[in-house]
Amino acid sequence: MIAGNWKMNKEIGAAKSFVMELLPLIEEITGAEILICPPFTVLHPLYELLADSQVHLGAQDVFWEKNGAYTGEISAAMLIDAGCRYVIIGHSERRQVMGETDLNVNKKLITASTAGMIPILCIGETLEERKAQQAEKVVSQQLDQALYGLSLEEGEKLVIAYEPIWAIGTGMNASGQDAQQMSRFIRQRLGQKYGPGAAQAVKVLYGGSVKEENIEEFMQQEDIDGALIGGASLNPVSLANIVRLVGNG
C-alpha cells in the first residue's frame, strides 16, 4: 500500500491537475494499493475524477460525534458521503500542534471503524524517546490506548502507520532495519490482542521521509506492507515512480 498524505496542501485546481497527471503514469501498474489523503475540500472533486481508477481516497482526520454543534468538525458519515473509505487518525502533527490526546484518537478510531471506514492509525516516538530507549514503550502505549475497546472482527480492516516523529519531513528516514524492528513489535502486540491471524491481516506502513530513493529498502522488510508518504506524494511523477517500484509493471 502506498498512501499519500497531502497534509494542508493543494486547492481543487491543483489537486485535479495532479490526478490527471498521475493516472496515466500508473495505469499499467498492478499489485499496489494506492491511496491519496487530500484536504477535506478536495475529497469530493477528486472522488469524481478517481471513480474508475485504482486510486482510493482517504481523509486526514474525523470527529467522533455523528452530528451536531461541533463547529469546524467533520463526521465519518460526511466523509463516506464525500467518497472516502480511509481516514488517517492520530497523526503526530495533530497530536503535537492540535493537542490531540490518546483518548481523542481512541474515540475517533472507534467511530471511524464503527461507521465502516478503514482507519490508518499513526503512532511513533520522538527523538528524545528513541535516544532514551523508550521507543517501544511509547509506541505500545499509543497502540494500546488507541485500540482500547476495538474488537477487530474477522475481515475488519485496520492500517497502522509507524511514523517516528523525528523522521517526518526531515529527510532523516529511519533505517529499514529499525522500521522493521518496530513494525514487527507492533504486529506482535496486535497478535497478543487479536490473535496472529488478525495481526497478520493488519497492514503496517512506515512513514517519515519516504521517497523514490529509499522506498525499496522499506518494502524489502518482512513486516512492512507499505508507506505513508508526505512530501514525496505531492508530486505526481515522484508518487508514480514510488508506486512503480512497489508494484508490477
Part of the chain binding ligand 13P (CB under 6 A), chosen from 22-30, 149-157, 192-200, 223-231: 223-231
Q: What residues numbered 86-145 form the site for ligand 13P, per CB under 6 A?
A: 91
Rule CB under 6 A: is residue 5 a binding residue for ligand 13P?
A: yes
| Beta carbon nearer to ligand 13P, 37 or 198 | 37
β-pairing, 55-59 vs 34-37, is: parallel
Rule CB under 6 A: is residue 168 a binding residue for ligand 13P?
A: yes
User: Does residue 91 have an active-site annotation?
Assistant: yes
Smallest distance from ligand 13P to CB 34, Å? 15
| Beta carbon nearer to ligand 13P, 79 or 229 | 229
The one catalytic residue in 93, 129, 163, 217 is 163
C-alpha cell at 31: 499489485
User: Does residue 56 have an active-site annotation?
Assistant: no
The one catalytic residue in 56, 91, 100, 125 is 91
Rule CB under 6 A: is residue 209 a binding residue for ligand 13P?
A: yes
Q: Kindly list the residues in this chain that would bind ligand 13P in the complex (CB under 6 A).
A: 5, 91, 163, 168-169, 207-210, 228-232
Enumerate the active-site residues.
91, 163
